[in-house]
Amino acid sequence: MAVSARSIGEAFVSIAGRDRVRDDTAALAAATVDGVQPRWAVRPASLEQLSRILALACDGRLAVVPRGAGSSQELGHPLSRVDVVLDLTGLDQVIEYNPDDLTVTVQAGISSGALAARLSPRRQWLALDPPGGAARTLGGIVATNASGPRRVRYGTARDLLLGVRFVQADGVVTWGGSKVVKSVSGYDVPKLMVGALGTLGILAEVTLRLHPLPEVERSWLALFENPRAAQALVERVVDSALQPSRLELFNARALAQASAESAGAGVAVSIGSVDEAVREQGERLKAIAESSAGRLVPLPEGFWGEVESAMAPLESSTVLHVASLADRLAGTIGAIEDAFRIVAPRAEVRLSGCAALGTLRVVVSGATAAETAAVTTRVRALVAEVGGSVVIARGSIELRRSVDPWGPVEPHALALMHALRDEFDPGRVLNPGRYVGGL
């Protein structure tokens, strides 16, 4: 039986109310993804509305694109079908905050900044600091598996997500995990939702593990002639009793943007603890840096804010996420910089990374899609040796059409991913075609 557009639109209105279902030109232009304008922009106000909207969309064989703060719209294979953009920022409530248990349950559309404001009076925080920071929604951070320098100590969303309520493609509300910090009852469903772009279900609520804010936190910057010397420092720090809460490496360009320092490479180290321990570890860090032929300068509090702006992409920038191994980091940085130098000599490449884990964020401006695609392919071949990856975290449609934005996935693993997608969203309602392997 045919479903008419008009009646679907009216049905959306009957679910969410007229002011939450937009089909006017301005709203649709604002909701456009990958150049495809949706037919409706819907902003549900409750879990129930979200569930009913999806049930309807599923029956109508519509393509639904979930959206939080909109910071990851240029991620994945370009969309070719977009019927509904589902704005989740209306689901922005703190459902349950248990400071004594260091857990919080929030609706997925709450911003990271709003959550932090709720937690900080109790001197607690969610230890996720992805670029783009406070404005991003928790649902978006989890669905894109976004992380920042803190991951060296606290891990990523997969380590902090305890429970998840999501709405499957057919509208069925489903819960996975638990609301306590330790549980092994049943499969670890929350992990499946991390980084899945909502393709197995749209996140509606997340329960997260919190951490106490350290009493004192101070940061230092160790400066070196080149990334290799910086990597040597990282290795010594990791192999010592120091417990850094950040251990972030910068290339010369990123460093110059974020600070007044000029050097071939820098490593910013944060130590958070009780005052005496921070001071004592700072001394040790100084000794390590000096014996590593580096110069150590204390950093002002504002430094990390500067890093945020230094590493923020411009309108036309591309962002690559490169994963290699810690002991290959300097080589990987060299290879990335060389590749751009050869292929796109005018490009500006700012680069930072979680040095102890071998992950890098590369912000490129001034390179064409073809140039960036060529570099992506080259670096992929290099990191493939160690099972690494290059993901285009943000890139133009042209770039994402000319090179697979995700890169290869192990064939048997990909077959399982297909099986899951076929099982849970056979009609490809959720973000169709956008995920790895065109899932």
Partner 1 sequence: MPLSGAFLQELEGIVGAGGLVRTFEGRLVYECDMHTFYKGAPDAVALPRRTEEVVEIVSLCRRERIPIVPRGSGTGLIGGAMAPVGGVMIGTNRMDAVLEIDLPNRCATVQPGLINLSLTRAVASRGYFFAPDPSSQMVSSIGGNVATNAGGPHCLKYGITTNHVLGLELVTGAGEVVRLGGKAADRPGYDLLGAAVGSEGTFGIVTAVTVRLLHAAEAVKTILASFTAIEDASEAVSAIIAAGIVPAALEMLDKLMIRAINEGTGAGYPKDAAAVLLIELDGPAAEVEAQGERAARICWERGALEVRVAADATERALLWKGRKEAAGAVGRLAPTYLLQDAVVPRSKLPAIMRELIAIGTRHRVQIANVFHAGDGNLHPLILYDDRSPDQLERAKAANEELLRACIEMGGTVTGEHGVGLDKAKNLPLQYGEADLNFMYRLRRAFDPDSIMNPGKLLPSHPACGEGFRPARPRVPDGAWI
| Contact set for partner 1, span 348-377 (CB under 8 A) | 356-359
Give yes or no for residue 178 binding partner 1 (CB under 8 A): yes
- CA distance to 104, 154, 190, 193, 200, per residue, from 178 (Å): 12, 20, 9, 14, 19
Q: What token pair was written down for 119?
A: 């937690």
Give yes or no for residue 95 binding partner 1 (CB under 8 A): no
Contacting partner 1 (CB under 8 A), which of 135, 256, 370, 409? 409
User: Nearest distance from residue 438's CB to partner 1, in Å?
Assistant: 12
Give yes or no for residue 158 binding partner 1 (CB under 8 A): yes
Location of structure tokens 């080259």: 378
- CA distance to 233, 296, 297, 353, 376, per residue, from 293 (Å): 9, 10, 13, 21, 33
- Residue span binding partner 1 (CB under 8 A) among the ranges 106-114, 238-246, 311-319, 372-380: 238-246
Contacting partner 1 (CB under 8 A), which of 93, 175, 226, 286? 175
> How many residues in total does the chain contain?
439
Per DSSP, the residues of 338-396 read HHHHHH-TT-EEEEEEETTTTEEEEEEES--HHHHHHHHHHHHHHHHTTT-EEEEEE--
- Residue span binding partner 1 (CB under 8 A) among the ranges 275-283, 302-310, 341-349, 426-434: 275-283
Contacting partner 1 (CB under 8 A), which of 29, 35, 80, 98? 98
Location of structure tokens 């973000």: 431
Location of structure tokens 């639109």: 9
Contacting partner 1 (CB under 8 A), which of 61, 123, 341, 346? 123
Give yes or no for residue 14 binding partner 1 (CB under 8 A): yes
Q: Which of 53, 48, 58 is nearest to 13 (CA)?
A: 53
Within 239-258, the residues that bind partner 1 by CB under 8 A are: 239-243
Determine the angle formed by the axes of helices 227-238 and 329-343, rounding to 10 degrees.
160
Select 24 or 276, whichever has its Cβ closest to partner 1: 276
Contacting partner 1 (CB under 8 A), which of 28, 36, 256, 326? 326
Within 281-310, the residues that bind partner 1 by CB under 8 A are: 281
Select 32 or 418, whichever has its Cβ closest to partner 1: 418
β-strand partners of 220: 269, 298
Q: Which amino acid is at 317?
A: S
Give the count of residues interacting with partner 1 (CB under 8 A): 106
Give yes or no for residue 2 binding partner 1 (CB under 8 A): yes
φ and ψ at residue 139, rounded to 5 degrees: -60, -45
Binding mask 206-225 for partner 1 (x = CB under 8 A): -----xxxxx----------
Contacting partner 1 (CB under 8 A), which of 95, 118, 217, 235? 235
User: Nearest distance from residue 106's CB to partner 1, in Å?
Assistant: 16
Handedness of CA 163, 247, 140, 143 (dihedral sign): negative
